[in-house]
Amino acid sequence: MDIDARGPRFGAAVTTVVLAAVLITGSAWLLAWQTLAFALGAAGGVARSPYGWVFKAAVRPRLGPPSDFEAPEPPRFAQAVGLLFAGVGLAGFGLGVEWLGLAATGLALAAAFLNAAFGYCLGCELYLVVRRVTVRVE
């Protein structure tokens, strides 16, 4: 079942704010929260992530009916990619390798910003590339 395309974009906007706050404050706890949000989105899909719940409960009822839908697999894969980068960032902060924490968080922030501001999902595009390569190999 396809999902409302506005949901992942809303999640990307919230993620952008959270990751920017991580870079400003250097808060490993805030990055841990975002890592958990990515993990829930990767495991259960974007609709089951905390930002997906907020979108469904508080934002979507105030919007008109969706006009654009998308398959749930690419955004879910994008959550897994975000989880990878947030996990590396969290490890960097936790191990005292601050440059690694900042770099990984910055890369995740750039991807989230592209989705939030322009609707361009890097993780979704990566999913499509991986899928094409997998289909060709089979």
Instruction: Note the pLDDT tens digit of each residue in 70-114.
Output: 999 999 999 999 999 999 999 999 999 999 999 999 999 999 999
The string of DSSP letters for the chain reads --EETHHHHHHHHHHHHHHHHHHHH--HHHHHHHHHHHHHHHHH-GGGSHHHHHIIIIIGGGS---S-EE-SHHHHHHHHHHHHHHHHHHHHHHTT-HHHHHHHHHHHHHHHHHHHHH---HHHHHHHHHHHHHHHH-
Report the predicted TM-score, pTM, of the whole model to 2 decimal places: 0.93
User: Domain-by-domain residue ranges, the chain?
Assistant: 3-137
pLDDT digit string, tens, across residues 35-44: 999 999 999 9
